[in-house]
Chain A
Amino acid sequence: GAVVSQHPSRVICKSGTSVKIECRSLDFQATTMFWYRQFPKQSLMLMATSNEGSKATYEQGVEKDKFLINHASLTLSTLTVTSAHPEDSSFYICSAGRPYEQYFGPGTRLTVT
């Protein structure tokens, strides 16, 4: 299967600071990547669709000014959580798709203190 990486795997930051999470497709090109959020013992919720070379598409209820997404190349998408607050603490997971499969990164655990 294809490989999607995320960095960092775990980050702790103070309230009010910004955090950047990188998502890379290591062995295939992805014009579209997805960002999901997962709370403990819950399912994955789609936050936004990241499109290479254009603006991201955000799901209803997701603040685009808080969760900045940049899809700089065919293998890299970044999610920046701006002015993070404790309620932003969660598990953030990205994914990238090929024609018949979609692969997920290992996730980033964000803790805002």
Chain B
Amino acid sequence: QQQVKQSPQSLIVQKGGISIINCAYENTAFDYFPWYQQFPGKGPALLIAIRPDVSEKKEGRFTISFNKSAKQFSLHIMDSQPGDSATYFCAASIGTGRRALTFGSGTRLQVQP
């Protein structure tokens, strides 16, 4: 049973555009929601994370929007660059970063120059 659903599966964006990736979760006990960026052959790198007591968190060009009532959260990449081309995973866990993560299925982002 997939507890975190991620969409779209793939995304093509023009340079300078906004990339939006969405995730929905089922388990209301989840209270830690990170996003990871993964390049081919590399481990996932933590981009940004949010807890459900806030509705939005921004770090540079990356923003997480969180809707607790809808059980949804999304990643917005502003001014997308070709170097952002990678696979992005949303995840969720119960508790803190010391708990095992449940991952979404991933979104392959391609930013065209």
Contact = CB atoms under 8 A, between A and B. Distances in A.
A4 B106 CA distance: 22
Contacts, number: 64
Nearest to A32: B98
A97 B46 contact: no
B99 A104 contact: no
Nearest to A1: B46
A40 to B, nearest CB: 10
Contact of B99 (A45, A97, A105): A97
A52 B64 CA distance: 33
A100 B43 contact: no
Contact of A106 (B36, B43, B96, B103): B43
A17 B106 CA distance: 33
A6 B43 CA distance: 10
Interface residues on B, range: 20 to 34
A103 to B, nearest CB: 6
A75 interface: no
Interface string A17-48: 00000000000000110100000001111100
B77 to A, nearest CB: 19
Contacts of B36: 104
Interface residues of A, number: 27
Given A32-B98, A98-B97, A98-B98, A103 B103 contact: no
**Binding site secondary structure of chain B:** loop
Contacts of A91: 41
Given A43-B104, A106-B42, A97 B89 contact: no
23 contacts: A1-B46, A31-B98, A32-B98, A34-B100, A43-B89, A43-B105, A46-B101, A46-B102, A49-B100, A93-B43, A95-B101, A97-B99, A99-B97, A99-B98, A100-B32, A100-B97, A102-B101, A103-B46, A104-B43, A104-B44, A104-B45, A107-B41, A107-B42
Given A1-B46, A100-B49, A109-B41, 15 more contacts: A34-B100, A42-B106, A46-B101, A49-B100, A93-B44, A97-B97, A98-B98, A99-B96, A100-B97, A102-B46, A102-B98, A104-B36, A104-B46, A107-B42, A107-B43
